Chains A and B, each alone.
Chain A
Amino acid sequence: MNPLSIAQTIQDKFPKEVKEIVEFRKQVSVIIQRDRAKEILAFLYFNKDFNFDYLVDLCGVDYMGQKKPRFEVVYNLFSMKHRHFFRVRVEVDEDTQDAPDNLSVDTVTDIWRGADWHERECFDLFGIRFKGHPDLRRILMPEDWEGYPLRKDYPLKSDLGDMEWQEYKDLIEFSEKAKQYEVR
């Protein structure tokens, strides 16, 4: 199915939620609002004409200083049956005082089971929470790591200063102490 017509169908069905249809080099994606994102994704999965049965990738994007809302969760979909790709971008904003639950999306693990680790990675590196996820822990970074490294306001260099991981600081301290016992 032509991706533009898929986008059009989604817009017709969810006119309020679809914010924009973006086409770039024949790749079409829709930017949608967060609240009914899961409903739209489920529609893409269950609709016979679309049948997006394969979640190719799920990732996060940080658009700090470029646009508002700041974050996006990107769903890359593929249909094994119809062999078409589609991309859904869900906008997520930062947590604020009045809206402490802003930075969260509904999980899609009950639609595509493979989203489990992708969502964990997204949570690990961007801090985006996935509501209803069965096991939302860090997947790449150590469990007691502080901060979300792929955010644009995270330090770029290896020297993290005060934000340094505690166990690594302990290791440096330990190896300084162990130096006196080395046979050199």
Chain B
Amino acid sequence: MSNIHSAIETETQELQLTEIEQGIKIIPGVNALIAAFDKIVNWSRYSSLWPMTFGLACCGIEMMTTGSSHYDLDRFGIIFRGSPRQADCLIIAGTVTKKMAPIVRRVYDQMPEPRYVIAMGSCACTGNIYDTYSTVLGVDKFLPVDVFIPGCPPRPEAFMHGLIKLQEKIASENFKWSKWR
């Protein structure tokens, strides 16, 4: 407490706030930061993006490769979760058939907010060459997609680029944390 008191005292005298990053200031002498709430919430969200373990076709194999130690998604804080209840990002990796579409939608509906969708690969983006009776032409027909990653399948680099794009998108959100939004 005495620390805070002294901090307030110094503030009344002359408070030197150091800006450590844009919009984030540190109060010297105490372990405290001053920042917009958005910044903190968004920071915590994009640095622990937990996708759902959900591969549908060959893109799923590429997704697993990207998650493996060679490319290492853990360094972005991306850890695959086994349950939609614990996930906040759904990666549609592969061709979505009409038979599978209601199940994909159900997985999405089971996820708590905030939730994000990445359409990985040409099939999930547009249906690719499979313009046939059984295939959904683009997962955006029934899901709100945040990031589209083209490629057949996309290289791990491209996939990681997509994930970073999503992180950038999350970092730029405003007021996505209260009831009164």
Instruction: Tell me if A174 and B105 are in contact (CB < 8 A).
Output: yes
Given known contacts A168-B98, A171-B101, A172-B141, A183 and B132 CB-to-CB distance under 8 angstroms: no
Closest to B113 in A: A183
> A16 near B: Cβ within 8 Å?
no
Return chain B residues, CB-CB under 8 Å to A157. Answer: 131-133
- CA distance in complex: A44, B43 (Å): 71
> A63 near B: Cβ within 8 Å?
no
Closest to A150 in B: B133
> B135 near A: Cβ within 8 Å?
yes
Closest to A149 in B: B133
Return chain A residues, CB-CB under 8 Å to B28. Answer: none
> B142 near A: Cβ within 8 Å?
yes
Pairs A–B under 8 Å by Cβ, sample size 16: A142-B98, A149-B133, A155-B133, A156-B132, A156-B133, A157-B131, A157-B132, A158-B133, A167-B102, A168-B136, A172-B141, A174-B105, A174-B142, A175-B143, A182-B144, A183-B181
> A46 near B: Cβ within 8 Å?
no
Instruction: Tell me if B142 and A158 are in contact (CB < 8 A).
Output: no
Question: B interface, how many residues as a size bin?
Answer: 20 to 34
Closest to A182 in B: B144
Given known contacts A172-B142, A175-B143, A183-B114, A158 and B102 CB-to-CB distance under 8 angstroms: no
Closest to B114 in A: A183
- CA distance in complex: A175, B105 (Å): 8
Return chain A residues, CB-CB under 8 Å to B143. Answer: 175
Return chain B residues, CB-CB under 8 Å to A154. Answer: 133
- CA distance in complex: A104, B102 (Å): 33
Separation in Å of the B123 CB from the closest CB of chain A?
12
Which one of B98, B137, B144 has the highest number of Cβ atoms from chain A below 10 Å of its Cβ?
A: B98
**Interface pairs A-B: 8 shortest CB-CB:** A175-B142, A168-B98, A149-B133, A158-B137, A158-B131, A171-B102, A142-B99, A157-B131
**Cβ 8 A contact of A165, one of B98, B127, B142:** B98
**Cβ 8 A contact of A158, one of B114, B135, B176:** B135
Given known contacts A142-B99, A149-B134, A183-B114, A158 and B144 CB-to-CB distance under 8 angstroms: no
Given known contacts A157-B132, A158-B133, A179 and B105 CB-to-CB distance under 8 angstroms: no
Return chain A residues, CB-CB under 8 Å to B181. Answer: 183
Not counting A158-B130, A175-B105, a sample of 20 additional A-B residue pairs whose C-beta atoms are within 8 angstroms of each other reads A141-B99, A142-B99, A156-B133, A157-B132, A158-B131, A158-B133, A158-B136, A158-B137, A160-B133, A167-B102, A171-B102, A171-B105, A171-B142, A172-B142, A174-B142, A175-B143, A178-B109, A183-B113, A183-B114, A183-B176
